[in-house]
Chains A and B, each alone.
Chain A
Amino acid sequence: MSANRLFTDSCARAVKNERLQKVLATATATFKAKREKAMATLADPDARRALAARVKDNALARLPELLETLERNVVANGGHVHWARDGRHANEIIAAIARDNEVKTVVKGKSMTTEETGLNEVLQEQGARVFETDLGEYIIQLAGERPSHIIAPAVHKNRQDVADLFTEHLGVERTEEPEQLTLIARKALRDEFLRADMGITGANMAMAETGSVILVENEGNIRFSTTTPRIHVAVMGIEKVLPGPTEAGIVLSLLARNGTGLKMSVYTSVFSGPRRADEADGAEEFHLVLLDNGRSRLVADATLRQSLRCLRCGACLNVCPVYGAVGGHAYGTTYPGPIGQCISPSLSSESASPDLPFACTGCGACKEGCPVQIDLPGILQHLRNLAASGQATDPSLRGGPPLSARAAAMFAWTASTPPAWSAACAAARLVGPSRAAKVPVLGKKLARWALKRHLPSLGTPFSRRWPALQRRLKEQAPKEHAND
């Protein structure tokens, strides 16, 4: 995605897509309702959120130590651990494993982390056939698109779209029945599962103490991807490590509730190394790729660090008015919505639009809905501060602020000088917003604002009305009090 393209321009196109609006409205409303119902089954939802936030913060505070413990225990379990600086490095590591093992077919469990690194293209370039096996991911793979929601990658597609895709790509008789469509995908993927020599998944979390990776899913495709192929590669962001089962249990109690609105995912799998001699299932080789890709930068900033609590449940997307208006693709980043706006500028493999931190009304719905209480609007404010102060080390934050430093300084000077402020207000009244909108340069934005709004007319300002009002209030005061 080009860094020059502004999010606001993508928004202009996205809001015109009425079909998208309809799909988004239904999907986000359903997610919201299910989440609320699921959270209500906890005795004290807010206490649980606070607890999970503490669990994540504690783990992030001991990140280097936990990662080393995890590595030690994965190796002790017979697995391999790889450290990837960035997305490209992770892809190189995985491509090398595939080459060394002459991998021809890869089945993938749903993984946003490998979307972040762009792994599929790299594997395909070296001749491997790569199949997404999560139904939503499979649909968008056929369409040649990227996920538009963290947990519902094909949320922007309706059943007619899926019917069109399946008819075109799989040569099946057209049906719009969801059950039938699912069966078609199941049948098409089954052979590939059995043929695959490598299964690649993400990881929802890892337990350092036991050297295990935990994966949650509802379709069974992840478990399938990790049991039939000879090699299982799990790709995990370094922030996902937890000390052990106690902490994992707390996080699990919130993940499904806030994602799909289930108390627990249909499948929760714990992988502790490759198949042992006495075990019937599992991969012969297990690789864990630990991905940094800018996460260390997030750890280093006390405010941005909070964003690493994220469980990738997608709850913030479903309540965000901006996401609801434009959908995930408009953002141009792997992770859309509030959490995407917070982390994308720091992720090495993303070229985030510089206006992303400003694409927020400050409504606070995301903060209220986050299962780990991430102060998403606060993080966006922090990114705005960095961008406006010119301190942003990341080039993607330059050029985003709507108010130039000079304009801000002029505004502050005027507001610090009451006669100048009064004069500016008087000038605004004299011209009036309707006429000001006709001024070529200055009025352009005002005119745009007024496309769907009636500009106000400005009358006598409050400060000039006040002396008379104050007199009247003083005269009436005794009367009113007598009535009380």
Chain B
Amino acid sequence: MRVNLFVPCLVETVVPEVGEATARVLARAGCDVTMPPGQTCCGQPVYKTGNLAQARKLAERYVHLFDSGTVVSPSASCVAMVRRYPELLADDPALAAKARDLAGRIFELSEFLANVLGRTDLGACLNARAAYHDSCQVGRVLGLHHEPRALLAGVQGLTVLELEHPEACCGFGGSFSVQFPDVSEHVLTNKLNDILAQEPDIVVSAEVSCLVNIRAGLEHLNSPVRALHLAQVLDSREAAS
């Protein structure tokens, strides 16, 4: 199956290794991975701050950029954004129709692997204790609670630990973390405490935004716990020490 890789801006600039892992995992699952050029931003930052006119411009651009084929992204919030395009572009019926078409063929990585391909065992192997963080955008927004866990269960050597509050927000929320820094830090601290209480080797998230936030928090504490994207875990082929 041919798959168009949707590269979130955070993956492009901050965690390119997540993009590489996503591409490798998809290839291993038998997909022919391509990356449409010219990808920048899906419009989420301007949309979330209420700037709909600007969000529409970027939505229109992405509708044309991904005009055919299956699209897969390692970010639930970007996928959720693209699934809002039909409503965002409703004033232009022709464009809205194309947006609906795109919304029907874009998938978050775990959703694509587990539900479209029906694959939960990708031959990954990682000896580690892993805490899984249910990103709000993955779990509550896209409704993917079971899929990431099923994929983690398929990783040889991995012990999956349940957090006390796996569904609790990490406090990022994009511009929220800048506008409300004190609340954001407080919520992040609660999340980190919940993670550290499980004494894991790694914490896994299927959402890039949470991953960057949690990783930055753990590194600030000089914690040995590594924050990995689900794609990176599924890409592991060797037993870790």
Please give the residue numbers on chain A whose beta carbons come within 8 Å of chain B beta carbons, in ascending order: 7-8, 11-12, 14-15, 21, 321-322, 324-326, 355, 357-365, 367-368, 381, 383-389, 401-403, 405, 408-409, 411-412, 414-416, 418, 421, 425, 428-429, 445, 448-456, 458-463, 465-466, 469-470, 473, 476-477, 480-481, 484
Contacts and interface: CB of A to CB of B under 8 A. Distances in A.
Interface of B: 7, 11-16, 19-20, 23-24, 27-28, 30, 32-35, 37-41, 43, 45-46, 48-55, 57-58, 61, 136-137, 140-141, 167-169, 171-190, 212-213, 215-217, 219-220
Given A325-B183, A421-B40, A463 B7 contact: yes
Contact of B13 (A8, A12, A384, A425): A425
Contacts of A425: 12-13
Taking chain B's interface residues, is the majority helix, strand, or loop, or is none over half, making it mixed? helix
A364 B140 contact: yes
B133 to A, nearest CB: 12
B46 A408 contact: yes
B180 A389 contact: no
Contacts of B168: 321
A258 to B, nearest CB: 18
Contact of B35 (A365, A405, A409, A466): A466
A403 B176 contact: no
B186 A388 contact: no
B6 to A, nearest CB: 11
A465 to B, nearest CB: 6
B58 A384 contact: no
B136 A361 contact: yes
A473 B27 contact: yes
Contact of A448 (B37, B55, B181, B189): B181
B30 A484 contact: yes
Contacts of B20: 462, 465, 469
Contacts of A403: 45-46, 49, 51, 175
Contacts of B57: 412, 416
A462 B185 contact: no
A412 B54 contact: yes
A24 to B, nearest CB: 11
A453 to B, nearest CB: 4
Contacts of A418: 37-38, 40
B217 A411 contact: no
Nearest to B56: A412
A234 to B, nearest CB: 37
A143 to B, nearest CB: 25
Contacts of B189: 452
B27 A477 contact: yes
B220 A453 contact: yes
B27 A480 contact: yes
B35 A452 contact: no
A352 to B, nearest CB: 15
Nearest to A418: B38
B58 A416 contact: yes
A449 B54 contact: no
Contacts of A383: 50
Contacts of A324: 187
Nearest to B22: A462
Contacts of A460: 16
26 contacts: A8-B181, A11-B183, A12-B182, A15-B182, A325-B187, A355-B179, A359-B183, A368-B140, A384-B49, A403-B49, A411-B46, A412-B51, A412-B55, A415-B40, A449-B181, A453-B220, A454-B219, A462-B12, A463-B35, A465-B16, A465-B19, A466-B35, A470-B33, A473-B27, A473-B33, A484-B30
